[in-house]
Structures are given as structure tokens and as C-alpha cells.
Amino acid sequence: MTQQNIDILTARAALDKNYILLLTTNSRESDAVRAIIKDIAPAVIRRATRGARIGRLGKQFCIHLNGTSGAQEHCSIGSLTRWMMRPEMPQPKLVVVVGFAWGNPAHVQAGDVIIASKIHDINRVHMEKGKIKRCVADRVSPLGAITECIPGLPALKSGRKILSGELASAEIYLSDTPTRNSILEQLPEVLGGEMEAFDVVRDLGVPWLFIKAVSDHGDDEVDRTQQNSAAQAAASLVLPILEALSAEGMLNQERQDVATQRLTEALIGHAIRISRPVGDRDAIVDAMNVEVPRIMQRLLGYMPNDDEHNHLLAETLAVAMVEIAQNAFLHGNASYANCGFNETKVVLSDNGMAYDPRTLSGERGGAKAWSDLNNTFLASDFISFSRQTNKSQGNVYTFKFNKINAEIRQAKSLCTVTDVPPGSGFMNSSFAFNPTCEILYYEAREIYTMSKRNSTWAQLDFLLDAGKSLIIACRDQRQVMMYEEALKKFTGPQLRIFVASRI
């Protein structure tokens, strides 16, 4: 699925002090981190990177930037961090650097994971009694000690240890036993070292954390064979650590408001793809239960108003869809289910064996979920249902929102707002529309310049203040977010802003 780009400045209201900034310095680390991010989409941060993505880790928003480790490099993660800390950018609540490091053989073995909130910056050297010594500058995260968070973390699949401790940092790829030993003579307590922290955290005023798995010992025997597994081990602990920090009161809970809801909808985008969960029946049931709130969140974004009836509809339909998908995994040999959304229908598809939920009866979960949906919404024609089966494509189930569809069609046909510019200028343009219409349809796809946008927003604001309801059709999700921000004082059923291709 191709996702729309998310401009983080447009999403500033949702992100400011409400997201985790994840940093990596190579493709191995980047691939491992991307694998743990859900609802991932390209991020626009307005400068060059080796890759920028935005998504969610559990309930937290996150931005993942991949760069390089050299401090002088344009795309170094140090320079990327300083860019993200500019006042006009949404500020992170926590910066996490994820990847691999060399380890102190006195304390760790390859595969162990080091979690550090204290760094020894040893990037500068001086001469002392004819020997090169490293200048040591200690950097301590505002997060403080994290020792209490370690015992509750899940065990690594490899069986290796998870340790909290200190790291050394210098711009040197360490592959020399004498050099490593000279560092450890000065700093015998460190668990290991890496190449980025000295540049990333030197002026960083927000909490930060390093999650580094040991890939080697920085000696004459260094090779790259364990870097992939080390990167994956470090990435596997990111979400558990965030949850542990939240449980200890060391990380603010995620904020919930209109702006965050809109960003969530933008991230989820046109579809939610669910891969077959790993494990036995109980594990699959547990994993599928977690999908219900994600689907509900997306459905609520498309409801015509925010009343109890629509919350019931969203929950009932989400439960029925998850039960159908779960059945495809348990009994239909499906490897995935895809929930596709637009403003007038939801399409659930899978690649399993033919299955019709209308044939279900009895008291099992799937039968009861279908009965609830049928009795409450299908029988009243609030929703209509259709099903197609194709051997090569599996099952396709379509749920059409008849009321929403009719409402949009009527507004587009009879209540479209047209732009009537006086003379030759746009700045003082006005709208023309049928004054008897309570719900108006506005086509915004051809609005590009900022002057025209400002004029349009002022007039749309006037219409909303006058009590009219608006359906605004945009060319892409970025434009949707811009209009939502400009008209943010209006929420709920009075204002619906959609991508036109989905209407």
C-alpha cells in the first residue's frame, strides 16, 4: 500500500512534545526499527536524510530518521537531531538511538543489549606523560537512571542479557585491540561504546536513551556477521522500554485530542493490513482482539456525527470484521486480511478459502458478532453488505454506508459551493451556493497558492460560523491536514474533510 507523505510541520499540533524520535545510522539498524513501527508512512521534515518515516509504536507517535554516524556528515544523526530541535519543529518527548555497539569483554558478550542514559564523550584527546589520553565529558540524560525499568522487560529470543549501564562514545570505528584496551583502562566501568552519542546528546535538552546490542568487542577480531541480529535485538526492546518508562512515570502519557485523532487517521490511511499472527489459536485470538480499536478509530473518522449510535456502529462493525478475518486465519488458511476504507464503504479482503459469514449460526464468537451487526444495522438498511469470492484473490466483503453515501451524493449534486471571483482578482472572491442547503460540498482540489488558501479558509470559516455543515474534498491527505488545521475550531459532524478520490 502506498501511503501519503505526512508533513511534520502540518502535523505539529499533534506531534509537539508527543512523539518519540528514533535514530539509526545504517540500513541494518533502519530495517530493524521500521519492522517494529505500525501504520508507517513517509515523513517530510524539510531536509535531506537517509530515510524519514512517521508511524506509531503502541499508542505513541514516532518519527524515525536514518542518517550516518560521522559527525561531519550532512546526514549525521547529530545534525538531524539538531534540525529536529529547531523551535519551529514539533519537539520530541524522548530521543532514542537504536542499533549495535562494541562491548567491553569484561562485562558483556555478543548479543547482550545495553540500555544507557549516561554517556562518556571521549571524542577529544590530549597528551599526558607522553601518552595519548582521551578527554572525558560525562553526559547524563534528563531521563535519569533507568535501572528500575530493566527487570520487567521481556527476555531476548537469543537468551542473552539486558543490562543498564554506561557507554563510551567517539568518532572512531573501533577494530583494534590496543586502542580498545586503552579506552577501557581509562573507563573500566563502561559496558561498551559507539560512534554517535557524543554528537547527538552534547546540547540535547530533552530526555534521551541509547539501546545498543553488542555486535563485537571492538578488537582485532571485529567482523560484521552479528550486526543484523544485534540490530533486531535492540529494536525488539524499544516498545517494551517505552511501556516500562510510562509505567514508572518517567515518560508522559500520549496526548489525546482532535489533532492527534486527525494524525492517526492520516497514518492509518486507506487500509489496515493484518498479517496472520504467529502462534496457536489462543495467540491468534489475543492478537486479533488488539486490532478492533485500530479499525474502530478509522471508522469513527468517517462517521457523519459523533453520537452514541455511530460509536455503536463502529464497534459492532469492527468486531464483525475482525471475527471474519480471524476465521480466515484459523480455518481458511489465509496469510493476511486487508481492511480498505473510503468515505462511503469499507472493504475487507483476504486470501483464504471461500467463506460467507451469513451462513453462521450458534453462540460462537463469529456467529454472535455477525448476528449483532445484522440485527442492529444490516436489517435496518443503514449498512448494506455484499460478498465476492475468487480462487486467486480469496474473499472480498463490502460494507456500504448507505446514509453517508446518500448524504454526500446529495450535497455534491445539489449543494456544491462555487467560487465567484469579482472582476479579475481572487483575493476578494465570494462563494455562491443554494441557501436552502444545510450541508454544503466544497471542491478544494484546485486551490494551490497561499493567498487563495487564506481567502478560501476565511470564507469557509464564515460559513461554519453561520451554522452550515461542510463536506470538503481535497486532492491528498496533506491538503486534508492543512484544512483541518486551518478550521480546527470546528469538529464533529459539522465539518468533514476527505480525499476526493475516496468519495
Q: What is the 3-state secondary structure (H, E, C) of 163-216?
A: EEEEEEECCCCCCCHHHHHHHHHHCCCCCEEECCHHHHCCCCCCCEEEEEEEEE
Q: Is 1 a member of any domain?
A: no
Confidence check: pLDDT of 427 > 50: no
Report the C-alpha gap between 57 and 94 in whole angstroms.
13
Domain co-membership, 296 together with 218: no
Examine the fold and report which residue of 404, 427, 451 is the final residue of a domain before the chain moves on.
Answer: 404
- Please give the average per-residue pLDDT across 174-199, as a whole number: 94
- What pLDDT score does 8 carry? 93
Domain co-membership, 37 together with 105: yes
Task: Write the CATH number for 303.
Answer: 3.30.565.10
Residue 393 phi, psi dihedral angles, 5° rounding: -120, -5
- What pLDDT score does 421 carry? 61
Confidence check: pLDDT of 429 > 50: no
SS3 (DSSP) at 396: strand
Domain co-membership, 298 together with 173: no
Confidence check: pLDDT of 410 > 90: no
Residue with the larger pLDDT of the pair 78 and 503: 78
Confidence of residue 17 (pLDDT cuts 50, 70, 90): very high
Domain co-membership, 434 together with 340: no
Domain co-membership, 205 together with 231: yes
Asked whether 102 and 216 are in contact (CB, 8 A), the reply is yes
Asked whether 104 and 191 are in contact (CB, 8 A), the reply is yes
- What pLDDT score does 393 carry? 63
Q: Is 59 a member of any domain?
A: yes
Q: Is 189 a member of any domain?
A: yes
Domain co-membership, 215 together with 301: no
Examine the fold and report which residue of 404, 430, 459 is the final residue of a domain before the chain moves on.
Answer: 404
Pick the range with the lowest mean pLDDT from 82-96, 235-249, 279-293, 398-412: 398-412
Confidence of residue 302 (pLDDT cuts 50, 70, 90): low
The one-letter code for the residue type at 303 is M
Domain co-membership, 203 together with 116: yes
Confidence check: pLDDT of 314 > 50: yes
- Please give the average per-residue pLDDT across 319-331, as a whole number: 95
Q: Is 172 a member of any domain?
A: yes
Confidence check: pLDDT of 428 > 80: no
Domain co-membership, 12 together with 152: yes
Domain co-membership, 293 together with 381: yes
The average confidence (pLDDT) of the chain is 89
Residue with cell string 475550531: 489
- What pLDDT score does 317 carry? 95
For 405, counting Cβ atoms within 10 Å of its Cβ (0-12 exposed, 13-18 middle, 19+ buried), the class is middle
Query: Which among 489, 315, 304 has a CA at the least distance from the CA of 403?
Result: 304
Q: Is 256 a member of any domain?
A: no
Query: Which among 311, 309, 305 has a CA at the least distance from the CA of 469?
Result: 305
List pLDDT tens digits, range 127-150. 887 788 899 999 999 998 899 899
- What pLDDT score does 141 carry? 96
Domain co-membership, 424 together with 373: no
Q: Is 254 a member of any domain?
A: no
Domain co-membership, 282 together with 384: yes
Task: Write the CATH number for 144.
Answer: 3.40.50.1580
Q: Domain span at residue 469?
A: 415-502
Examine the fold and report which residue of 404, 434, 455 is the final residue of a domain before the chain moves on.
Answer: 404
Domain co-membership, 383 together with 276: yes
pTM: 0.71
Q: Is 149 a member of any domain?
A: yes
Instruction: Please give the DSSP secondary-structure letter assigned to residue 494.
Output: G
Q: Is 138 a member of any domain?
A: yes
- Please state whether beta strands 192-194 and 94-103 pair in parallel, antiparallel, or not at all (unpaired): antiparallel
List pLDDT tens digits, range 45-58. 999 999 999 999 98
Confidence check: pLDDT of 2 > 60: no
Q: How many domains in the chain?
A: 3
- What pLDDT score does 361 carry? 86
